[in-house]
Amino acid sequence: VKMMLQRLDSSVVRSHDGSMRINVLQIRFALLQGLNQRLRHILPYVDLSTGLEYRMGHKLRRLGYCIFYDLKMDLLDTALRFTAQNSGNIPLNLDHQKKTLSSDCGNRDPGVSQCVFVQAFQQTQHVQASQLRLSEPAGRIFSVSFVNEAGIDAGGVYREAMTEIVTDLHSPEFSLMILCPNGVHKINNNMDKYIPNPRSSSPLAIQMLEFVGKLMGISLRTKATLPFNFPSFVWKGVLGQPLNATDLEGTDAYLVQSLNALTDAKMTAIDFDLVYGGEVTFTTTSSNGDTVDLLPGGERVAVTYERRHEYVDLVYAYRLHELDRQVAAMRRGLGCVVPLRLLPLFTWQQA
């Protein structure tokens, strides 16, 4: 790289017009092209699941944004073809009347709801994961019919059903998932994004979240682009990537702003007492608004100026891992349908 830069005309290097930037960009792009040409041959043999920082797999995961999307998709498509099964025609008989009656009765919980998602889940519980591994663009896993509704499933009925199954997840009428706090508070971005409900921790709810992951895998295999509306907080977890404060802000900007104010470097002990004065305790709220102790008896322990950083660290530790169990279930379901090995190379925006 140094030799290539030295060859640039000195007047161009000193220039502040677009020509210098274009040359530098050309060099950077050439380097990326060379990197990707070499990776195409070696990536199939690299252990991308390693947790050891000095291993190539770990380093490549961190450089996933430098790997061309086309290369990643070529490798993923190859893996999908090798793991594909002759499947499809799994019967689904869905009932809109049952869904409406369930909604009218206020049956929102996973154990009692009869929304279309739950009906599909119940009817596919005993389907082998291998039967879901169809890798055909526009392929149909299920043979769908609607009770008392005329229609021949030539593709449109299937698409309608799959879209409705996923849309049911993003509804206040079903509590497996909830609108993220930004949506509840109507602030910042991602106001329409949904996240798993922290209360979705029963064995049944975890099975349903695994089914969500299977649907994500079906969408990927058949290129169905189903309308999953998740923030980076969920996508990165499903891809096996670490979360940070930016991801939390993408779901709960009000909380992050409050924590930033609490640790403002310009704040003195006097300022802290005037603003907070024993009103903050070692508790926080979960994504669904429940109050959670950060320490044993945390509601009785006041946050002092000296312990404010400890408090903030505890809040981040709790909220960044609050949905670990739920997102892990989605990832397990996805892994039943799609090889997970290559997914950490994708950015969450590419998911």
Indicate the average pLDDT of the chain: 87
pLDDT score at 245: 95
3-state secondary structure the chain: CHHHHHCCCHHHHHCCCHHHHHHHHHHHHHHHHHHHHHHHHHHHHCCCCCCCCCCHHHHHHHCHHHCCHHHHHHHHHHHHHHCCCCCCCEEEEECHHHHHHHHHCCCCCCCCCCCHHHHHHHHCCCCCHHHHCCCCCCCCCEEEEECCECCCCCCHHHHHHHHHHHHHHHCCCCCCEEECHHHHHCCCCCCCCEEECCCCCCHHHHHHHHHHHHHHHHHHHHCCCCCCCCCHHHHHHHHCCCCCHHHHHCCCHHHHHHHHHHCCCCCCHHHHHHHCCCCCECEEECCCCCEEECCCCHHHCECCCCCHHHHHHHHHHHHHCCCHHHHHHHHHHHHHHCCCCCHHHCCHHHC
* Sites in the chain below the pLDDT cut of 50: 1-13
pLDDT score at 177: 97
pLDDT score at 316: 97
Q: Is the CB of residue 263 less than 8 Å from the CB of residue 312?
A: yes
pLDDT score at 21: 53
pLDDT score at 136: 76
pLDDT in tens, 268-293: 999 999 998 888 999 999 999 999 99
pLDDT score at 260: 95
pLDDT score at 2: 45
pLDDT score at 154: 55
